[in-house]
Amino acid sequence: MLHVVSLIHDQFEDLELWYPVLRLREAGASVLLAGEKAGVEYHGKYGVPAHADISFDEIDPDSIDALLVPGGWAPDKLRRFPKVLDAVRAMFRQEKVVGQICHAGWVLVSAGVLNGYRVTSTPGIRDDMTNAGAIWLDEPVVVDRNLVSSRRPPDLPDYLKALVKLLQEKTVR
């Protein structure tokens, strides 16, 4: 069974958090939500709730297969936690799957892992992505090595199709 962690904080984009989480559960994965504090209920931009199953401290990159970063304004907070940035860097070091959509790229910018990576995101943060060394493309989904990027909610079907495919390839290998 695949083990996946999705980061959360208040003001996540409601569908960008929940569609990937539910979709990977449908694919048979165990998906946990990691927040600043375990057991706390966070709320999306529209108000959809989400409980943190574990805290950032409990994320163990060695034992998970993928790390997801939702969009919304949550990434503006997530990027400020050293534990979050450590987890992102560890995933990249181990070449494990990372998924990010919309404004999630800010977290990867602060983790310093984007140099030379082909990515996409909301156009709003394109400059922050390219200033961090990424090659930015305006496509529904971009896959480069372990990183799957997407732009916005209507791209969620493309985003998850690519995420599921990459996870299957990684697992088989």
Residue 3 appears among annotated catalytic residues: no
Binds a copy of itself (CB under 8 A): choice among 38, 54, 55, 73? 73
Q: Which helix (H) or strand (E) holds 110?
A: helix 105-111
115 SS3 class: coil
Binds a copy of itself (CB under 8 A): choice among 39, 94, 95, 131? 131
DSSP 13: -
Q: Which stretch binds a copy of itself (CB under 8 A): 33-41, 62-70, 105-113, 139-147?
A: 105-113
Q: Which stretch binds a copy of itself (CB under 8 A): 1-9, 12-20, 58-66, 88-96?
A: 12-20
The Cα-based distances of 78 to 52, 81, 83, 95 in angstroms read: 13, 6, 9, 21
Binds a copy of itself (CB under 8 A): choice among 2, 4, 7, 15? 15
Residue 21, number of CB atoms within 10 A of its CB: 21
33 binds a copy of itself (CB under 8 A): no
Cite the active site residues. Answer: 103
